Amino acid sequence: MHELAITEGLVDAVTERLPGQRVTCVRLEIGALSGVVADSVRFCFDLVTEGTDLDGAALEISQSPAFCRCRVCGGDFEPDGPLVLCPCGSAEVTVLTGQDLKITSVQVA
Ligand SMILES: [Zn+2]
């Protein structure tokens, strides 16, 4: 379950950046191709934040769409699943966006 390690990393990043501040809300953006399951992050968040400055903070997750560029036909397309395949049939694609997971904002009390 790699979401646990990811969530720990996020919580560490927030507490390092905002030491001693009471965090009330964390907003996350998860790319469609990041392989991270939002529900798992939510579950881990409650465990990881217990006893930290983020204890009881709300977690808002939004999914950001992925975009890929085909190296054969040059077209950009939005993959509709974990299988990245251009409408032209090529799997020779470069992922432009959608593999990242980032904190978009943090609210403090
Ligand atoms: Zn193509």
Protein residues within 5 Å, CB atom, of ion ligand 1: 70, 72-73, 86, 88, 90
HSE-up of residue 62 (Cα within 13 Å, Cβ side): 9
Looking at residue 80, its pLDDT comes to: 81
Looking at residue 1, its pLDDT comes to: 58
Rounded (to 5) percent helix, strand, coil in the chain: 25, 30, 40
Q: For the sheet containing 93-97, what is the strand order? A: 76-77, 67-70, 93-97
| Ligand 1 centre distance from Cα of residue 88 (Å) | 4
pLDDT digits (tens, 9 = 90+) for 48-78: 999 999 999 999 999 999 999 999 999 999 9
In angstroms, rounded to a whole number, what is the distance separating the alpha carbons of residues 109 and 101? 24
Looking at residue 19, its pLDDT comes to: 93
Strand partners, 58: 25
pLDDT higher than 70, residue 4: yes
Q: Note the helical H segments in the chain.
A: 2-17, 38-49
